[in-house]
């Protein structure tokens, strides 16, 4: 993935909830295969499945996908593609985790208990039903950019805060009458887990948007859409709109959250170091380190060189 001119990089995002009791033994051969094809990014492995975003030359990324699908447990692995002229990632990591998306509730199994999938073309009718409670399961900084009309925003800072919100939300109602609940997230992974959690809590009719917001924006024409605003994505595009067209947002390179309107005019904003959202949460030492990283990045940019520390590989949290 060197600096060859006109190189096109394919980014593939994928996940699957599947029982992988031998997940730890998969790490070394998988890392070796990715490195042999010069594919970069992050793959998370856990007993509950796999979650990843990787990038490289298209033929190399497809080789990694074929390697994974050669295993009968992963034969039906679905992935989403996007292309860029810049290398999104500069390292390849395979990490072993307790969960591929962190909810911190033991015993939740999306492979056995996930909610009912709803295709994008059927989603509008479902969320327009007055008897259905629509819940956005994403983090507050994601919801700020856009959400579905009428959806509840739990105002959570991380997915692991969702169970506490459910407990105090009043959704649980009376023991004999729990409402119908529809949940959505960026690409589907968080909803598979959140709907499994809701079913474990005794909710019988729980639905989730198949393929997430991204599949909806790709599938549903804007004039028929109930989506309002932009959708935050965990890659170099930052946000996308209908038809998955890249949006106008930029990231704070310190906290990796989208910059709010007027953020760059704030005295708390410093490029690569802080923004109004994160300024109070980092120490002087962390700011000094970030300042040095930004300086090195700007020097590398001036020299037209790729700086290794400029972008950190991060798995999708969809």
Segment 231-242 shows an average pLDDT of: 85
**Percent of the chain surpassing pLDDT 70:** 92
pLDDT at 5: 47
pLDDT at 148: 98
Give the closest residue to 227 by CA, choosing from 237, 209, 238, 241.
241
Distance CA 209, CA 193 (A): 13
Is the distance from CB of 115 to CB of 195 less than 8 angstroms?
A: yes
Distance CA 277, CA 286 (A): 15
The predicted-structure confidence for 171-197, as pLDDT tens digits, reads as follows: 876 666 789 999 999 999 999 999 999
Q: Is 87 helix (H, G, I), strand (E, B) or coil?
A: coil
The one catalytic residue in 185, 191, 231, 275 is: 185
Distance CA 204, CA 37 (A): 46
191 annotated active-site = no
Distance CA 71, CA 92 (A): 21
Is the distance from CB of 153 to CB of 286 less than 8 angstroms?
A: no
Average pLDDT, the chain: 88
Distance CA 241, CA 107 (A): 36
pLDDT at 318: 60
Instruction: Give the fold, CATH level 3, of 110-229.
Output: Oxidized Rhodanese; domain 1 (3.40.250)
pLDDT at 312: 44
Distance CA 52, CA 315 (A): 5
Q: What are phi and psi of 196, to 5 degrees?
A: -60, -40
The dihedral of CA 78, 110, 115, 104: what is its sign? negative
Domain boundaries, given as residue ranges, for the chain: 9-96, 110-229
CA atoms within 13 A on the CB side of 126: 24
pLDDT at 174: 63
Distance CA 226, CA 153 (A): 16
For residue 46, what are its two tokens?
């856990």
Beta strands, E only, the chain:
9-17, 40-46, 49-56, 79-84, 92-96, 116-118, 132-136, 146-148, 180-184, 206-209, 227-229, 231-232, 239-240
Q: Give the distance between the most distant pair of CA atoms in the chain.
A: 67
Distance CA 165, CA 156 (A): 8
pTM of the model: 0.79
What's 198's DSSP letter?
H
Is the distance from CB of 220 to CB of 204 less than 8 angstroms?
A: no
Indicate the CATH number of 9-96 among 3.30.70.100, 1.10.10.10, 3.90.1200.10, 3.30.43.10. 3.30.70.100
């Amino acid at each position: 993935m060197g600096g060859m001119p006109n190189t096109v990089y394919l980014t593939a995002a994928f996940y699957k909830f599947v029982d992988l009791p031998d997940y730890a033994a998969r790490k070394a051969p998988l890392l070796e295969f990715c490195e042999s094809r010069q594919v970069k990014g992050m793959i998370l492995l856990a007993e509950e499945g796999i979650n990843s975003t990787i990038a490289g030359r298209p033929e190399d990324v497809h080789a990694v996908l074929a390697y994974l699908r050669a295993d009968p447990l992963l034969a039906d692995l679905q992935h989403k593609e996007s292309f860029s002229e810049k290398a999104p990632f500069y390292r390849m990591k395979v990490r072993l985790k307790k969960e591929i998306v962190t909810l911190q509730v033991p015993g939740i199994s999306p492979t056995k208990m996930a909610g009912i999938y709803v295709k994008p073309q059927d989603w509008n009718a479902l969320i327009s039903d007055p008897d259905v409670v629509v819940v956005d399961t994403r983090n507050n900084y994601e919801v700020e950019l856009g959400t579905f009309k009428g959806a509840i925003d739990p105002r959570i800072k991380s997915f692991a805060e969702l169970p506490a919100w459910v407990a105090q939300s009043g959704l649980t109602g009376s023991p004999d009458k729990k409402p119908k609940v529809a949940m959505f997230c960026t690409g589907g992974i968080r909803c598979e887990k959140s709907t499994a959690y809701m079913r474990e809590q005794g909710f019988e009719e729980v639905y989730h948007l198949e393929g997430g917001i991204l599949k909806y924006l790709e599938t549903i024409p804007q004039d028929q859409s109930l989506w309002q605003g932009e959708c935050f994505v965990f890659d170099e595009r930052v946000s996308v709109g209908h038809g998955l067209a890249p949006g106008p947002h930029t990231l704070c390179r310190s906290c990796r959250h989208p910059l709010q309107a007027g953020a760059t005019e704030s005295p708390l904003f410093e490029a690569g170091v802080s923004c109004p959202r994160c300024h109070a949460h980092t120490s002087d030492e962390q700011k000094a380190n970030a300042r040095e990283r930004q300086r090195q990045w700007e020097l590398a940019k001036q020299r037209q060189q790729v700086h290794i520390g400029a972008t950190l590989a991060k798995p999708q949290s969809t």
